[in-house]
Structure 1
């Protein structure tokens, strides 16, 4: 268990196994638990009413990283053994760290044939890491085009059906690179963003390309400090955020990815790079005043980050209330606003 995370019982019935749209709910009409940092009081609303909780001059920061279909299936050239890999993080235009789901007989130097147009060579494997280095036969945009052509989105056991990639995208996603959906932004619609702007809420974008969060085996270390992710905070966005802070306005991060990027930027004085920042109870947040996020599973590291916004005791009470109120969990579930 990661220090700062919390344990609770999550009934299987509260796992959102299908996108809201396939449950007859509009994308922006999922439920939202609004939680006070000071009192711990929770009120229950719909996400569509987010504008009621934000004020003119507040800055809402969104992650516009686009989800890629990170599961690739192929076969080993030397043995014809069927293989599956899960892309974990991009190294450069041609190479990725990836999880080899089927590793039996796969050695360094092995060529994996994914399609007539794409192959990959296993350049490096290490016994103390679940990830291998894959060098692809294509690079840059050509590689992404092929990945989008043959890949499947990452899904875990609570997702019963293989939903199309479009269900794993935010409406504003524009920079391909996330292997799992930056899901805190999923509920937004263009109508919703227009409504917020009309009220005077400033909306700005950053990118943090999410890495693979689970290696399909509990023996591997899943601590956030082991998960290095690439981020970019555009200068224009940073200036808007700092201006809001100096004028006493709030900065609300849509998702743990945004918090990680912003807090890394101010700690390192670097607006782009790689981060393995671990935000935990007692961490002094310097940029984010509030967070909009989904509901996270028991003992998840994201709960440790939320405990930097609100005490662990209040967070635990709120999550118990969310269970009682039958909120839905995970990337297709309901939302939580902490202010």
Structure 2
């Protein structure tokens, strides 16, 4: 199976640069995974596609203000670090731009010396291992100095940083938002609960893989980066009971999907556990617990469109994307949504 099999033509003007003024007013494509039938709606009607006693599973990770802009201590040359993964109390794996300035042993300063850093190693695919020095609490310093780490295809500054957080974000640790969840408002979630849908939360901290395209010709040669996830015993029990009673489990976003499938054994039982997952889901994968998926429209040739294709079928998925382009849906992080049922 080749990476180019998941390519499609996307006009640049369909890449959403800013979120809509109202979170739940995005378009919603409804895709039947059995027949391939497509219909169109708006996200505020998402509860029409959920049934009482179904489980709606959301990822409650919160994005770090993980972009740090500083300068070299000796020359003053500008540097930007994107925090990706915490290695130790004061050590982080980062992306550095420009990388040529971030050689091992080079020191940097941020915020008039409030935060200092030294490159202590080289990580996977050219990432840099940074050790920070500071006084006080790192997270509080980061809140003051850091900027929201928007994906590279978003070229405009975000007017309101909270729009790159879900309204239910709780556990800080992601380098990118679980963007399918950006469409929900507290009011909409309350309506969903009032209908009798069980709204539950898992955690997966979105990491390095989000920023890395598939570079190999054959997808079987692609290696996913690992990301930390956690599912509580209470959440696992609710999902297992839901399945036992014949109701559906619907994940919000590919991150929730990957978490569920990572924590489910071969009998279809979701386990309470935490750890690291590098699960790669592509066509041919047999889902163990997932019945439906709410997701955004993803990049061509990405692991995300491969995951969607595993659930809905490659031809049905690519046809849905063709229709989305024709109907001028908005794409990627701040774009419109799809529910696969």
Q: When the two structures are superposed, what TM-score results if normalisation uses the length of structure 1? A: 0.91
Residue number in structure 2 paired with 1:117: 114
CA distance in 2, matches of 1:297, 1:82: 30
| 1:143 matched residue in structure 2 | 138
Correspondence 1:26-45 to 2 at 5 A: 26-45=22-41
The alignment partner of 1:320 has SS state of helix
Alignment of 1:172-211 (within 5 A): 172-211=168-207
Q: What is the number of equivalent residue pairs in this alignment?
A: 332
1:320-331 to 2 correspondence within 5 Å? 320-331=322-333
Are residue 286 (structure 1) and residue 269 (structure 2) matched?
no
Deviation at 1:271, TM superposition (A): 1.4
User: Residues 225 and 277 of structure 1 are in contact (CA less than 8 Å); yes or no, is this contact kept in structure 2?
Assistant: no
Secondary structure, counterpart of 1:236 in structure 2:
helix
Tell me how far apart the structure 2 counterparts of residues 331 and 214 of structure 1 sit (CA, whole Å): 12
The answer to whether the aligner puts 1:12 opposite 2:12 as a matched pair is: yes
Q: Contact conserved, 1:61 with 1:203, CA < 8 A, in 2? A: yes
CA contact (8 A) 2:233 2:272 kept: no
Identify if the C-alpha distance between structure 1 residues 27 and 105 changes in structure 2 by more than 3 Å, giving closer, same or farther. closer
Describe the SS at the equivalent of 1:297: coil
Residues 86, 99 of structure 1: 8 Å contact kept:
yes
Deviation of 1:267 (Å): 4.4
| Candidates 282, 288, 310, aligned match of 1:308 | 310
* Cα distance change of structure 1 residues 242 and 209 upon mapping to structure 2, 3 Å threshold: same
Contact 1:124–1:134 (Cα < 8 Å) also in 2: yes
Q: Distance in 2 between matches of 1:281 and 1:302?
A: 11
Gaps of 5+ in 1: none
- Residue 267 of structure 2 is aligned to residue 265 of structure 1: no
- How many angstroms does 1:94 deviate by? 2.2
CA distance in 2, matches of 1:297, 1:325: 17
| Contact 1:67 1:169 survives alignment (8 Å) | yes
1:207-218 maps to which residues of 2 (within 5 A)?
207-212=203-208, 213-214=210-211
Map of 2:154 onto structure 1: 159
Q: Which moved more, 1:266-275 or 1:301-310?
A: 266-275
2:328 alignment partner, SS class: coil
Contact 1:94 1:138 in 2 (8 A): no
Q: Could you tell me how far 1:304 is from its partner in structure 2?
A: 0.7
State the Cα distance separating 1:78 from its structure 2 match: 3.6
SS in 1 for 2:147: coil
Q: Which runs of 4+ in 1 moved over 6 A?
A: 216-219, 221-224
Stretch deviating more after TM superposition (163-172 or 57-66): 163-172
Q: Give the deviation of 1:160 after TM superposition.
A: 3.5
Is contact 1:32-1:335 (8 Å) kept? yes
Distance in 2, Cα, partners of 1:224 & 1:32: 31
Is residue 209–residue 231 contact of structure 1 (8 Å, CA) maintained in 2? yes
1:60–1:215 Cα change, 3 Å: closer
Q: Kindly tell me: are residues 275 and 107 of structure 1, through their superposed partners in 2, closer, same or farther at Cα, counting changes over 3 Å?
A: same
Aligned residue in 2 for 1:52: 48
Q: In the alignment, is the contact (CA less than 8 A) between 1:88 and 1:99 conserved in 2?
A: yes
Q: Which moved more, 1:232-241 or 1:262-271?
A: 262-271
TM-score w.r.t. structure 2 length?
0.91
CA distance in 1, matches of 2:323, 2:233: 40
Aligned to 1:277: 279
Shift of 1:101: 1.3
